[in-house]
A and B are shown apart, each in its own frame.
Chain A
Amino acid sequence: MTAAPKSAIEFQDVTLAYEDRVILNRVSFTVAHGETKIVMGGSGTGKSTILKLVLGLIKPNSGRILIDGEDVTDYSDRKLGNVRQKIGMIFQEGALFDSLSVYQNVGYRLTEKSVPEHQIEESVRRMLRFVNMEEAIGLMPSELSGGMRRRVGIARALVGKPKLILFDEPTAGLDPPTARTICELAMKLRDLEEVSSIFVTHRLDDIKIMSSAFFAYGEDGQVEFQREDERLCLINTRFLMLKEGHVIFSGTDEELWSSKDPYIQDFLRAD
């Protein structure tokens, strides 16, 4: 008998409240290894809060949070340092350090670990190539557009090859082609690198593309963009819908689109 695989992330009855305002109310879900969990919901429903709880930036009032089967709920900041090494976080506006160049931002994690400079440069260039931003290596964050900042933020989060990535509305406020580029980067990580992730969004375009297409290596070894069809169904992407701090839906895209819940129907009709 083999042991059941541990989840990459597990929330058990997590509740968070500020004074009398409840942000999350007994939220439970799991993210399996290699799975992308798309978290949806209107503004202020606690979507981004979930990501901050995973990172330990805020602590829940009750409930447990497990990362790779390890209960990190009560970890101190110092102890969380090791856990955070496994996690990459992409913030809403990129959250790049204004005083550092793109190179220094992307290589930040390695610089902090006193990695030799030539190795830092190699990693930084590789990650910037992955997000198609190598030409911006010497620029400062103030010289970048919104989409470029997000892509540099993704490159920074990927340095050190974390197996768990948290996306906090990475496409919010971007034009459709740039938003699609960001989604495709998340899909490549999901399909080619087997990275587990939580992708917070309220954009239907993101939801549609991420649940209906994937990347795979073709016969010639090149990465190919493919659509889900009758032969192949994506099983590594699942959805979680929040409403006023409660989970009102958890399941696949088919279940989501066929849901009779009026809030979900209204949400899916909004586009």
Chain B
Amino acid sequence: MNKVVEAVYEVQEASLMAGRAFARSFSRPLYLREVIVQMDLIGVGSLLIVSMTGLFTGGILSLQSAKVLTTFGATSQTGLLVMTSMVREMGPVLAALMLAGRVGSAIAAELGSMIVSEQVDAMRALGTDPLKKLVWPRMIALVVMAPVLTIIADFLGALGGWAVSSQLMHVASSVYISSAKEALTYNDIIGGFIKPMVFGFIIAVVGCRAGLRTHGGTVGVGRSTTQAVVTSDILIIVADFFLSRLILAFS
């Protein structure tokens, strides 16, 4: 199979997997407990890295933009630049990249290990549908938790930006806050929800597919993990471009 055919085949298989997991999710058992467990693992478990990423990204943005804005005597616009960058791009993309690294890789490794140790076969032999039990809860958990984590990253980014601009760049807090408020539009808020939902879906589907197609023992698990992260990262960036284009077209 050449690379193009292989890529098309993978897209087809991943789509079928996601479609089947969704279609079967309405029949009993519903595995709500699994969904809650995954939300806890993904959401609470990723809180620290996403928070740190948001906080320091906001700080960096503030540092860089205030420096440039000083040239034009427009440091009062620091909050606007920080918030626009955070909510529109940096928050969703960086939170998603962090999730791909932490959660996508963990999903691929866990499912891959289950495949090579025949646990998925055992599950099927015991009458459980792995798509319902393993894929669906992870998909739902990521689609729900990615926007929540992104909002936290955005908020902490704004906080980091404020701390840097007020303490290091000597911009008054009230000026920073009012320009930051000014930056936000409804489209930004809607986009801030839609983007991470799409990114969460990408991470879940890529991670689950990479895990479930694992072969070749423990070496295969390592390969699947790497593939999951690299593929998710690329798809997140590509999807971000098209989503940004779409959101801008509607604004």
Contacts and interface: CB of A to CB of B under 8 A. Distances in A.
A112 B124 contact: no
Interface of A: 52, 55, 57, 77-78, 81, 84-85, 87, 89, 91-93, 95-98, 108-109, 112, 114, 156
B121 A57 contact: yes
Interface stretch (B6-14, B89-97, B125-133, B136-144): B125-133
Nearest to B129: A77
A98 B119 contact: yes
A181 B122 CA distance: 22
Contacts of A92: 118
A95 B118 contact: yes
A93 B126 CA distance: 16
A97 B121 contact: no
A97 B119 contact: yes
B244 interface: no
B125 A57 contact: yes
Interface of B: 29, 113-114, 117-119, 121-129
B125 A87 contact: yes
Contact of B127 (A81, A97, A98, A114): A81
Contacts of A87: 125
Nearest to B131: A77
B29 A93 contact: no
A109 B127 contact: yes
A8 to B, nearest CB: 16
B119 A95 contact: yes
A149 B77 CA distance: 64
A52 B121 contact: yes
A99 to B, nearest CB: 9
Contact of A93 (B117, B123, B124): B117
28 contacts: A55-B121, A55-B124, A57-B121, A57-B125, A81-B127, A84-B125, A84-B126, A84-B127, A91-B118, A91-B121, A91-B122, A92-B118, A93-B117, A93-B118, A95-B117, A95-B119, A96-B119, A96-B122, A97-B122, A98-B113, A98-B114, A108-B126, A108-B128, A109-B127, A112-B29, A112-B127, A112-B128, A156-B126
Contacts of A85: 127
B126 A109 contact: yes
A81 to B, nearest CB: 5
The 8 closest A-B pairs by CB, nearest first: A95-B122, A95-B118, A89-B125, A91-B118, A81-B127, A109-B126, A84-B127, A55-B125
A78 B129 CA distance: 8
Contacts of B119: 95-98
Contacts of A95: 117-119, 121-122
Contacts of A57: 121, 124-125
A78 B127 CA distance: 9
A160 B190 CA distance: 51
A153 to B, nearest CB: 8
Nearest to A52: B121
A55 B125 CA distance: 7
B157 to A, nearest CB: 35
Contacts of B29: 112, 114
A107 to B, nearest CB: 11
A77 B124 contact: yes
A57 B122 CA distance: 10
Contacts of B129: 77-78
Contacts of A91: 118, 121-122
A77 B129 CA distance: 8
Contacts of A81: 127
